[in-house]
Structure 1
């Protein structure tokens, strides 16, 4: 078997295999093969390949960007089809492995795919190539009047560095989580996408904004967010910064996240003079700063 870049000259055979897969009812929601022009626009030219046996196309695979937005750069969705006469011979695995290697050379760090639950062969193929199941989209689309589920899988390259997602969680996303957000964003530049949230929303604490400004960290544009606003993000790290959030937080489905807890001193509870309040916020800030510095050093 040879694997070559997919070109327009291959498309008639590609279309035949595509239609054959459609007709099985277990490969795609689509029921009509697109034109070459539509196919060419949808799939990345540098990431589409054909498998050739005895001068005939017996399989093909492609990648499509999940979004044109800069924040999703390097995230793609794959498609792979093998002709029925050549299934069960290991060609699909060779083709998918080739696609993965080429994608990493292009700087693509994530490949996603959606597969019907009854397409056992495709599920097995992707799992054997390092994909993992991240969830099920129930009744996500119709085919011939019937709603079907899709199993969602993804493969994250270990060769391509990508920004890991970190969630800092507290009660009201007002004070301690905001300070931790500021420091982790500063210390983790280029390594982390930092989010903070609360199980409630109390608004920004002016004392936290002020004390962080003294250390060169601007929180004035931060917002107080509820944890439910971030559903669907694949977390790599979750840090709870108060016991109340740790004990009362709703379940966050993040099977691959490393979870940490540290109950930081709460300066917002301190009563007294302005000098005493300032000292309390300074104490909390310095404690949080040291924790965040050590977190980056230890985990990234």
Structure 2
């Protein structure tokens, strides 16, 4: 069976897109080949790795990549996870389903945290929101594909 390819894009490819890639591999790796990239990649956020490990998903081996690093791959789905990525998203072939699903940026939220635990709670909330989204991904993509064909 040929897997469908999905690309998650965000600004730094350090947190949200890495979480989404990890969740997708964990929940839908049998039918989706997950990738992530960033507009301006700057390494994987250690807090993202930590909170994903708390739910049994290891993203420590994933790499932070630029959009250019994946430009030779063809994607069936591209999902931007922040407004910056949406604005900077490259053009993909017409057959690619492009969707924008924004999530809060845990590193930005954590800057105002008064403790490490409070900072991690921001990461946990976003991790869980992304996890809920990825769990519902088959239905979400099916509805979006249906909308696309109705236009």
* Band the TM-score falls in, shorter-chain normalisation: 0.7 to 0.9
Q: 1:286 aligns to what?
A: 128
| Cα distance in 2, alignment partners of residues 252 and 216 from structure 1 | 35
Residue number in structure 2 paired with 1:238: 78
Q: 2: CA distance between counterparts of 1:221 and 1:252?
A: 28
**Count of aligned positions:** 139
- Cα distance in structure 1, aligned partners of 2:62 and 2:15: 11
Whether 1:179 and 2:25 are equivalent positions in the alignment is: no
Structure 2: distance between partners of 1:245 and 1:299? 19
Structure 1 partner of 2:100: 261
Shift of 1:298: 3.6
**Whole-Å Cα distance in 1 between the matches of residues 92 and 55 of structure 2?**
35
Deviation at 1:253, TM superposition (A): 2.7
| Greater RCO structure (CA 8 Å; 6+ sep) | 2
Question: Is the Cα–Cα contact under 8 Å of residues 187 and 296 in structure 1 kept in the other structure?
Answer: no
Which protein has the bigger strand share?
1
**CA deviation string 1:153-200 (max 9, x = no partner):** xxxxxxxx4111111000110000000000011111220111100011
Give the Cα–Cα distance (whole angstroms) in 1 for the partners of residues 41 and 63 of structure 2: 9
* 1:215 has 2:91 as partner: no
1:112-131 alignment, distance < 5 Å:
none
Counterpart contact for 1:176–1:266, Cα < 8 Å: yes
Distance 1:281 1:222 in 2: 18
Q: TM-score, normalised on structure 1? A: 0.45
Q: State the superposition RMSD in angstroms.
A: 1.3
Q: Secondary structure at the match of 2:137?
A: helix
Mapping of 1:65-214 within 5 angstroms? 161-214=1-54
Q: Between Structure 1 and Structure 2, whose CA radius of gyration is higher? A: 1
With the length of structure 2 as denominator, give the TM-score of the two structures.
0.87
Larger helix proportion of the pair:
2
Deviation at 1:231, TM superposition (A): 1.7
Aligned-residue offset at 1:252: 2.9
Please give the alpha-carbon distance, in whole angstroms, between the structure 2 residues aligned to 1:213 and 1:296: 24
Q: Matches of 1:283 and 1:166 in 2, distance apart? A: 23
Using the alignment, how far apart are the partners of 1:259 and 1:238 within structure 2?
5
Q: Which residue of 1 aligns with 2:138?
A: 296
